């Protein structure tokens, strides 16, 4: 015969368990009601964090960090809700918090408002420079920056960066920061150490515009390797702080750079990645920028199908323009002092490496480093933009002798 007291005890245990579940569910519901009635929360999909402000207020959102969660938990307990900070964290890190993309929200706010005035090139003209193509090149780059935010291309990133060159005090950094509207000024970064690969990749998913300040201090190794690679990325694979697994995150950031020296580009094959311009005077900063119209123009032009990348002709023009900023070894200097790179065969002629080598030696005589034909041939094969073809005489290069 079964012990009736044991049966009663089992029933009591089940009732107690059920009662605890009801109490726990009730506390969870009360906590959710408490949070939703007092705070406006959103998950920032760009920064990858939850933000909050008091419900109904117009104050800025701030990140829900450990200190904020502890404060919320203490206030909730003072109001009679028996919750802990881990309960609040469980809510703030859940899908119950609405998602919010600040960039998409800004783009939507300006869509369809353009008054047809070309404010992008007007902004570019604030930079005094003797480069005639600057305003048009800046226009294309600016569209590429906004296209990056709008994720118009899932295969290519905005792979070109303006490089502003002048002495100190020409307001280069101020102009760069001026490019972002107040709503997105959190997305500007000018103190990133580009050599730190992990931080750079993470910044590319969390910021909108990265200014590589003092570009002339970037080492040749970084220019020719890591930097050239990241400029063309469409997405970045990175493990976020405190994350357990690597994530493929959309790249948001475009790049711009400033320098105080002219011979700053060390990689011939990477010079297509920069629009280097020398400022002839301090930048004439506008008194104000109509950001609604500036970005409304970009959105309107992009949605109308305007090109936001550089075509082959523009890329060749940029590379030709950038030759004056190239930091070359003696062999490259001898070559570019004697030859230019024509765009078509009708503008130049094909020559073998031996013929080019001989003409340079006839022009400059015997010079240190100009005594090894094999080394010279390898140097020619690595010059970006130098067209070549294979003939019975070997590899021939398309060059234009300088007078």
CATH number for position 371: 1.10.10
User: Within its chain, how far is the Cα of 161 from the centroid?
Assistant: 9
* Residue 274 sits in the same domain as residue 304: yes
* Residue 113 sits in the same domain as residue 218: yes
Flag whether pLDDT at 336 surpasses 80.
yes
Q: What is the pLDDT of residue 230?
A: 85
* Residue 243 sits in the same domain as residue 139: yes
Residues 159-164: what's their mean pLDDT? 94
State the pLDDT confidence band at 234, using cuts at 50, 70 and 90. confident
DSSP 8-state assignment for residue 45: T
Which of 17-31, 191-205, 256-270 comes out lowest in average pLDDT? 17-31
Helix axes 373-381, 353-364, angle to 10 degrees: 110
Flag whether pLDDT at 270 surpasses 70.
no
* Residue 368 sits in the same domain as residue 223: no
Burial bucket for residue 123 (CB in 10 Å: 0-12, 13-18, 19+): buried
* Residue 384 sits in the same domain as residue 298: no
Whether 291 contacts 182, CB under 8 Å:
yes
* Residue 16 sits in the same domain as residue 163: no
Q: Please provide residue 248's backbone torsions phi and psi, each rounded to the nearest 5 degrees.
A: -90, 110
- Among 100, 123, 153, give the residue marking a domain's end: 100
Instruction: Provide the number of structural domains found in the chain.
Output: 3
State the pLDDT confidence band at 383, using cuts at 50, 70 and 90. confident
State the pLDDT confidence band at 337, using cuts at 50, 70 and 90. confident
Average pLDDT, the chain: 87
The pTM assigned to this predicted structure is 0.77
Flag whether pLDDT at 144 surpasses 70.
yes
* Residue 161 sits in the same domain as residue 275: yes
* Residue 107 sits in the same domain as residue 96: no
Q: Please provide residue 361's backbone torsions phi and psi, each rounded to the nearest 5 degrees.
A: -65, -35
Dist. CA 234–CA 189, nearest whole Å: 19
* Residue 364 sits in the same domain as residue 251: no
More confident residue, 50 or 217: 50
* Residue 169 sits in the same domain as residue 297: yes
* Residue 75 sits in the same domain as residue 96: yes
Does the CA dihedral 396-397-398-403 come out positive or negative? negative
Flag whether pLDDT at 21 surpasses 90.
no
Residues 222-251: what's their mean pLDDT? 80
Q: What is the pLDDT of residue 286?
A: 93
Q: Please provide residue 303's backbone torsions phi and psi, each rounded to the nearest 5 degrees.
A: -70, -15
- Among 277, 301, 325, give the residue marking a domain's end: 325
Q: What is the pLDDT of residue 8?
A: 60
Flag whether pLDDT at 16 surpasses 70.
no
| Portion of the chain with pLDDT greater than 70, in percent | 90
Dist. CA 106–CA 108, nearest whole Å: 5
State the pLDDT confidence band at 4, using cuts at 50, 70 and 90. low
Residues in the chain: 403
Whether 275 contacts 318, CB under 8 Å:
yes
More confident residue, 283 or 262: 283
- What confidence tens digit (pLDDT) does each residue in 344-377 have? 888 899 999 999 988 888 887 776 566 678 878 8
Q: What is the pLDDT of residue 38?
A: 95
Does the CA dihedral 153-155-157-159 come out positive or negative? negative
State the pLDDT confidence band at 25, using cuts at 50, 70 and 90. low
- Among 308, 325, 342, give the residue marking a domain's end: 325
- What confidence tens digit (pLDDT) does each residue in 49-101 have? 999 999 999 999 999 999 999 999 999 999 999 888 999 999 999 999 999 99
- Domain extent at residue 181: 103-325
* Residue 219 sits in the same domain as residue 125: yes
């Amino acid at each position: 015969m079964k012990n009736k007291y044991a049966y009663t005890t089992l029933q009591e245990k089940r009732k107690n368990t059920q009662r605890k579940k009801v109490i726990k569910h009730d506390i969870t519901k009360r906590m959710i009601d408490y949070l939703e009635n007092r705070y406006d929360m959103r998950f920032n999909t760009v920064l990858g964090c939850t933000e909050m402000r008091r419900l109904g207020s117009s104050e800025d959102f701030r990140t829900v960090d450990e200190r904020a969660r502890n404060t919320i938990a203490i206030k909730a307990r003072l109001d009679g809700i028996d919750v802990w900070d881990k309960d609040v964290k469980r809510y703030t890190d859940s899908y119950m918090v609405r998602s919010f993309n600040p960039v998409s929200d800004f783009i939507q706010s300006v869509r369809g408002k353009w008054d047809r005035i070309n404010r992008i090139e007007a902004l570019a003209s604030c930079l005094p420079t003797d480069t005639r193509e600057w305003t048009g090149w800046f226009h294309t780059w600016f569209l590429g920056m906004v296209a990056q935010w709008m994720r118009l291309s899932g295969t290519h990133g905005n792979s070109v960066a303006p490089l502003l060159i002048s002495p100190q005090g020409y307001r280069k950094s101020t102009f760069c920061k001026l490019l972002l509207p107040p709503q997105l000024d959190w997305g500007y970064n000018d103190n990133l150490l580009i050599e730190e690969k992990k931080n750079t990749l993470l910044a590319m998913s969390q910021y909108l515009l990265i200014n590589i300040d003092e570009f002339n201090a970037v080492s040749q190794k970084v220019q020719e390797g890591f930097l050239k690679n990241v400029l063309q990325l469409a997405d970045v694979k990175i493990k976020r702080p405190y994350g357990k697994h690597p994530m493929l995150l959309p790249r948001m950031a475009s790049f711009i750079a400033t320098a105080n020296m002219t011979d700053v580009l060390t990689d011939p094959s990477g010079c297509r990645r920069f629009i280097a311009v020398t400022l002839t005077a301090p930048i004439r900063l506008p008194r104000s920028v109509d950001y609604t119209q500036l970005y409304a123009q970009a959105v309107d032009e992009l949605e109308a199908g305007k090109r936001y990348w550089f075509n082959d002709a523009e890329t060749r023009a940029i590379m030709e323009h950038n030759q004056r900023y190239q930091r070359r070894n003696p062999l490259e200097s001898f070559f570019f002092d004697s030859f230019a790179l024509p765009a078509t065969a009708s503008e130049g002629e094909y020559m073998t490496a031996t013929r080019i080598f001989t003409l340079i030696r006839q022009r400059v005589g015997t010079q240190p480093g100009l005594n090894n034909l094999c080394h010279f041939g390898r140097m020619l094969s690595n010059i970006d933009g130098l067209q070549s073809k294979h003939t019975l005489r070997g590899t021939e290069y398309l060059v234009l002798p300088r007078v």
